[in-house]
């Protein structure tokens, strides 16, 4: 049995893990290939077998995360616009929770604007339909309000992923829905509910 593909994948995983431990602590432009390979236990030549530079490594991580999210949305919610906002948001948040170590950084102010823009593209059609359509906004107003909601949702998700234990998945999605629908909060305060662990 040829184990080379398995060894290749393990090497790439080790390089990514080393890179991510650095990226979680400092800006991308301050991370060197030498640091990554030293931390992962490889020489620099090994890095260049798989990546052109640290930017290429980050781009590959981002592309894989977003491609996975898009693929899972198509598989699990094939007619996604026919589903309700709560179902869609629950699914998006749940997938991000699986990759919380990445999402907490990529969706934050420290993250890559390219990733944030692509992430917003996945959310935009559903938010447009459930939050803006039929409300009498002009095209310009809708465009501005959509950007407002997308930026707010992105910021909320990034903050929650930093410490999801403060509010469980159901509570967090409920808060998102209340934000978009304008419904009053449940009888408990968020602080009281936030103390309940998932």
CB 192 within 8 A of CB 100: no
CATH code for position 11: 1.10.10
Give percent above pLDDT 70 in the chain. 86
Query: What is the secondary structure of 129-176 as a DSSP string?
Result: IIIITTS---HHHHHHHHHHHHHHHHHHHHHHHH-GGGS-HHHHHHHH
Give the residue from 7, 17, 59 showing the smallest Cα distance to 40. Answer: 17
Phi, psi (deg, nearest 5) at residue 163 = -155, 70
CA angle 127, 132, 133 (to 5 degrees): 105
Give me the residue label for tokens 């992105």: 154
Same domain, 134 and 181: yes
For 33, half-sphere exposure in the C-beta direction (CA atoms, 13 angstrom radius) is: 15
Same domain, 1 and 94: no
Same domain, 111 and 133: yes
Same domain, 13 and 87: no
Is the per-residue pLDDT at 8 higher than 80?
yes
Same domain, 80 and 40: no
Domain that holds residue 128: 54-194
CA distance 118 to 103: 13
Same domain, 63 and 87: yes
Q: pLDDT tens across 143-164, in order? A: 999 999 899 888 888 888 888 8
CA distance 154 to 173: 13
Q: pLDDT tens across 163-198, in order? A: 888 888 888 888 888 887 776 555 444 444 444 444
CA distance 84 to 120: 18
Rounded to the nearest integer, the mean pLDDT of the chain is 82
pLDDT confidence band for 2 (50 / 70 / 90): very low
Same domain, 147 and 185: yes
Same domain, 46 and 124: no
Same domain, 83 and 156: yes
Same domain, 118 and 158: yes
Contacts of 44 (CB under 8 A, 6+ apart): 33, 34, 37
Q: Please state at what angle helix 85-98 crosses helix 113-127, rounded to 10 degrees.
A: 160
Same domain, 18 and 107: no
The domain tally of the chain equals 2
Same domain, 72 and 110: yes
């Amino acid at each position: 049995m040829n184990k080379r593909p398995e060894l290749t994948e393990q090497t790439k995983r080790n390089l990514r893990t080393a890179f991510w431990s650095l990226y979680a602590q400092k800006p991308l432009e301050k991370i060197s290939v030498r640091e990554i390979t030293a931390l992962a236990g490889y020489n620099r030549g090994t890095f260049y077998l798989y990546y052109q530079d640290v930017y290429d490594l980050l781009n590959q991580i981002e592309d894989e995360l977003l491609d996975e999210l898009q693929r899972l949305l198509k598989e699990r919610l094939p007619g996604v616009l026919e589903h309700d906002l709560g179902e869609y948001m629950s699914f998006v948040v749940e997938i991000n929770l699986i990759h919380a170590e990445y999402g907490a950084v990529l969706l934050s102010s420290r993250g890559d604007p390219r990733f944030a823009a692509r992430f917003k593209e996945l959310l935009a059609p559903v938010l447009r339909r459930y939050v803006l359509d039929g409300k009498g906004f002009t095209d310009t107003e809708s465009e501005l309000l959509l950007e407002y909601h997308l930026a707010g949702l992105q910021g909320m998700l990034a903050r929650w992923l930093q410490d999801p234990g403060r509010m469980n998945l159901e509570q967090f999605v409920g808060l998102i829905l209340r934000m978009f629908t304008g419904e009053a909060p449940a009888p408990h305060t968020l602080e009281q509910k936030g103390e309940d662990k998932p």
